[in-house]
Amino acid sequence: MYKYEKHIIAKEAQKSGFIRDTLEKVYRLVDTLEYINRIVKHPMAMWKMMNRAR
């Protein structure tokens, strides 16, 4: 996962008109969802998850 710098997010928020903290939460959420999506798409991860359910 990425390390976000507040001054960069503050500049981006000011450009787009969003609140900095809210924009940072959205960036972190997207990052987390992309990470989960990569895990789910990996065939071995899916196989392990299916075996645990049994």
pLDDT, position 50: 66
> How far, in whole angstroms, is CA 28 from its chain's centroid?
5
d(CA 2, CA 47): 28
pLDDT, position 53: 58
pLDDT, tens digit (0-9, with 9 covering 90-100), for 15-54: 999 999 999 999 999 998 988 888 777 777 666 666 665 5
**Type of residue at 17:** G
**Token pair recorded at residue 21:** 């903290």
**Type of residue at 19:** I
pLDDT, position 26: 94
pLDDT, position 19: 96
Measured CA angle at 24 (ends 15, 10), to 5 deg? 35
pLDDT, position 24: 93
pLDDT, position 37: 85
